[in-house]
């Protein structure tokens, strides 16, 4: 009987692999079952399974250090350079003084020939960069690709570039759950870059911001499950999302009719939208399942359970998250605060009892346009069966920077070592 059930599970897993969609924003939503064959992973398609097998045959652990030592810098391409994340990647390369011999900026056919400003750094002088169309030819000979384009473009361009010797750090969701592709948050699993065969994935913004905040506590006390509610900024839908929010707010301020939404399904100004991504059969959205699927891979916790609700809020570019942790071992709020005070990538902002203006907790306006995840409101979870192993916290971080561009550039920096 147990064997029949196991066979049925395997059959279902194989069927899921053949049919599960992987188009932009579509969910890799199934939890990893211990009964699934090793090639199975959430969101697996025939194309991704073949890519996984191909990557497994390529050498592991390539770095860019030798090329930098030889030439003083790298030939780098930003794909999707005109979007909010692509532009921020360019600024991060400048700010963080990333060693460059050349910086290629690639976009759509429509933007080819236009220019983007390069602020300059110690290795490459400031100037205007001319956009080229994102094609395989435009990537020939490149050392490093920073991907800020959609899944279909990632699938089309990056496997070939890797075969030709490039390393890719990609911010799309196309490769995140492919087993031979490390999914990295440098503060948590930097060592996983050594497992790469040429593609490294950058996690989803809401995942990065949540995990940077909880990882120091997880290291100390273990983690069974999390309940997360996100408050996600308009920037998660790119420049269009931010422009739409500004236009709606301006119309409201002037008493004019609010322009119809296009980046979001409904008006965002003065509203909350409890849907990010498409729904699965259980009523969860693709965005919500990312917390569990990506969290398992990054923290190496294959049985982690995450219940999540993602909400779009009328905020410009910082995501906020309310997190309930069910820990393996007891941890008090004051121990948690001490752990977070010195944690990499974190700023502890937890003075709820002080009188204003000294009263402080993380808020989106304070966390925008910088790279730290602010954490506060740390307290015992009164609903936990064992409150000594339950904690509540609130975190907030810039979606475009730490949630996407800065994390991608930090991953690239790991390859310089």
Which residues of this protein are in contact with ligand 2RA, per CB under 6 A?
204-206, 232, 236-237, 276, 287
CB of 298 to ligand 2RA, least distance (A): 15
Nearer to ligand 2RA, 185 or 205 (CB): 205
- Which H or E element spans position 396? strand 390-398
Length of the chain: 417
Distance CA 49, CA 71 (A): 36
Q: Who's near 254: CB < 8 A, 6+ residues apart?
A: none
On whether the CB atoms of residues 344 and 187 are closer than 8 A, the answer is: yes
Nearer to ligand 2RA, 205 or 393 (CB): 205
Distance CA 251, CA 109 (A): 32
CB of 403 to ligand 2RA, least distance (A): 7
Beta strand pairing call for 373-380 and 390-398: antiparallel
Nearer to ligand 2RA, 129 or 315 (CB): 315
Nearer to ligand 2RA, 232 or 408 (CB): 232
CB of 236 to ligand 2RA, least distance (A): 2
CB of 210 to ligand 2RA, least distance (A): 12
Distance CA 375, CA 350 (A): 7
Nearer to ligand 2RA, 319 or 389 (CB): 319
Question: Sign (positive/negative) of CA torsion 159, 161, 163, 169?
Answer: negative
Contacts 24+ apart (CB under 8 A), 364-368: 364/231, 364/233, 364/315, 364/316, 364/317, 364/318, 364/319, 364/320, 364/396, 365/318, 366/396, 367/318, 367/396, 367/397, 367/398, 368/316, 368/317, 368/318, 368/398
* C-alpha separations of 71 from 57, 64, 121, 213 in Å: 28, 11, 16, 38
Half-sphere exposure of 285 (CA within 13 A, CB side): 16
CB of 347 to ligand 2RA, least distance (A): 21
CB of 326 to ligand 2RA, least distance (A): 24
Nearer to ligand 2RA, 100 or 206 (CB): 206
Active site members:
205, 319
């Amino acid at each position: 009987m147990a064997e029949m059930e196991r066979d049925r599970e395997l059959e279902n897993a194989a069927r899921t692999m053949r049919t599960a969609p992987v188009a932009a924003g579509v969910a890799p939503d199934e939890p990893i079952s211990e009964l699934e064959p090793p090639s199975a992973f959430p969101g697996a398609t025939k194309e991704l399974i073949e890519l996984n097998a191909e990557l497994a045959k390529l050498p592991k652990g390539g770095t860019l250090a030798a090329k930098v030592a030889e030439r003083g810098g790298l030939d780098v391409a930003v794909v999707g350079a005109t979007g909010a994340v692509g532009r921020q990647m360019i600024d991060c390369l400048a700010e963080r003084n990333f060693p460059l011999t050349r910086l290629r900026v690639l976009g759509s056919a429509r933007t080819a020939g236009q220019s983007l400003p390069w602020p300059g750094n110690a290795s490459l002088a400031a100037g205007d960069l001319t956009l080229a169309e994102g094609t395989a030819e435009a990537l020939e000979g490149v050392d490093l690709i920073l991907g800020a384009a959609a899944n279909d473009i990632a699938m089309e361009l990056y496997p070939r570039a890797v075969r030709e010797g490039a390393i890719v750090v990609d911010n799309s969701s196309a490769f995140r759950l492919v087993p031979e592709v490390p999914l990295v948050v440098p503060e948590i699993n930097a060592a996983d870059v050594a497992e790469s065969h040429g593609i490294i994935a950058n996690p989803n913004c809401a995942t990065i911001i949540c995990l940077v905040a909880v990882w120091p506590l997880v290291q100390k006390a273990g983690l069974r499950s999390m309940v997360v509610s996100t408050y996600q900024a308009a920037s998660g839908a790119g420049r269009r999302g931010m422009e739409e929010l500004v236009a709606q707010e301006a119309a409201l301020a002037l008493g004019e009719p609010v322009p119809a939404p296009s980046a979001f399904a409904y008006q965002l100004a003065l509203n909350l939208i409890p849907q990010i991504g498409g729904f699965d059969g259980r009523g969860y959205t693709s965005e919500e399942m990312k917390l569990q699927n990506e969290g398992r891979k990054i923290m190496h916790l294959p049985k982690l359970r995450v219940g999540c609700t993602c909400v779009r809020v009328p905020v410009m570019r910082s995501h906020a998250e309310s997190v309930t942790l069910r820990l393996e071992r007891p941890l008090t709020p004051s121990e948690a605060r001490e752990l977070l005070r010195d944690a990499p990538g974190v700023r502890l902002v937890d003075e709820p009892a002080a009188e204003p203006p000294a009263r402080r907790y993380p808020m989106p306006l304070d966390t925008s346009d910088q790279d730290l995840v602010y954490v506060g409101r740390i307290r015992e979870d009164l609903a936990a069966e064992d409150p000594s192993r339950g904690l509540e916290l609130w975190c907030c971080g810039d979606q475009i920077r730490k949630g996407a561009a800065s994390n991608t550039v930090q991953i690239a920096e790991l390859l310089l070592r």
